[in-house]
């Protein structure tokens, strides 16, 4: 685990000795400990300088990425790779199925104007994707809740290449690591959250979401998700077969009486 954590941190820049030592001991433990936490009601600012209450996004799954805008290599790569995977996820799950926020943690530099310029430089114009700023206290509190770690270094900052997936209830659901974001590692948790329709929403809607969950499958040859109708047909055929067997058993039992 510690070797994996070190690799995650090394991808983000030249690691200082103190950061590397701290990371070896507990980086992934701290990150994973965030699972199950409520992200709270932190108030940030969007690129127009308007207040943005993080809890206002509840009702939909939320993807959170923390970066700093003066990074010229790793953070832009994280954002661009995330954008590619988000596009795949929205193609499979729906444009409005979930939302994304990118938060600048270098609070003295990452102003709304800087975040706006950063988004433009990475070519991110996707709907329901917000680039946010915050004061130092909010950044520190939010990073603590998310298990996100960053350390000042000669190059700027060393930090975990971490993307956090939050459920529609505001609870941290999954952590995804790496600069190169694996498609399935991000989309599968989102798929589970998007198609988790409770029975209270109605039996028909619940079953429709259940079918979508099992029938939306990853195609590695295209790096895309598709709806596999053969799975649906197999389920229906199996249900009909079981129904036929049950009918035969009941009929035979009735005749024997």
Backbone Cα Rg of the chain: 22
Lowest mean pLDDT among 132-141, 145-154, 184-193, 211-220: 211-220
pLDDT of 6 above 60: no
Q: How many CB atoms lie within 10 A of CB 188?
A: 18
Q: CA dihedral in degrees (56, 58, 61, 62; nearest 10)? A: 30
Which residues, including other chains, have CB under 8 Å from residue 55's CB and lie 6 or more apart? 39, 40, 41, 42, 170
Cβ pair 48, 30 in contact under 8 A: no
What value does the mean pLDDT of the chain take? 83
Lowest mean pLDDT among 81-95, 137-151, 167-181, 241-255: 241-255
- Residue with more model confidence, 256 or 2: 256
* Long-range residue pairs from 233-241, CB within 8 A, at least 24 positions apart, any chain: 235/211
pLDDT at 58: 83
Cβ pair 70, 28 in contact under 8 A: no
Nearest to 89 by CA among 79, 80, 101, 97: 97
Q: In terms of pTM, does the model score above 0.75?
A: yes
């Amino acid at each position: 685990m510690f070797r994996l954590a070190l690799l995650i941190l090394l991808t983000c820049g030249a690691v200082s000795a103190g950061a590397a030592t701290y990371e070896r001991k507990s980086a992934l433990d701290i990150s994973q400990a965030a699972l199950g936490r409520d992200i709270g009601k932190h108030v940030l600012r969007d690129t127009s300088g308007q207040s943005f209450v993080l809890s206002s996004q509840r009702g939909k799954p939320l993807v959170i990425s923390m970066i700093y805008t003066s990074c010229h290599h790793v953070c832009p790569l994280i954002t661009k790779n995330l954008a590619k995977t988000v596009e795949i996820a929205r193609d499979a799950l729906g444009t409005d199925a979930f939302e994304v926020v990118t938060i600048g943690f270098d609070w003295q530099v990452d102003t709304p104007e800087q975040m706006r310029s950063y988004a433009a430089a990475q070519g991110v114009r996707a709907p329901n994707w917000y680039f946010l700023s915050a004061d130092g206290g909010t950044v520190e509190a939010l990073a603590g809740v998310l298990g996100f770690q960053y350390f000042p270094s000669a190059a700027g900052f060393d930090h975990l290449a971490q993307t956090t997936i939050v459920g529609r209830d505001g609870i941290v659901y999954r952590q995804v690591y790496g600069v190169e974001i694996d498609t399935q590692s991000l989309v599968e948790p989102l798929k589970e959250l998007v198609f988790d329709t409770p029975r209270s929403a109605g039996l028909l809607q619940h079953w429709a979401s259940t079918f979508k969950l099992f029938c939306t499958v990853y195609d590695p040859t295209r790096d895309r998700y598709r709806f596999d109708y053969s799975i649906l047909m197999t389920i229906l055929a199996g249900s009909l077969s079981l129904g036929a067997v049950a009918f035969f058993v009941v009929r035979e039992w009735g005749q024997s009486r």
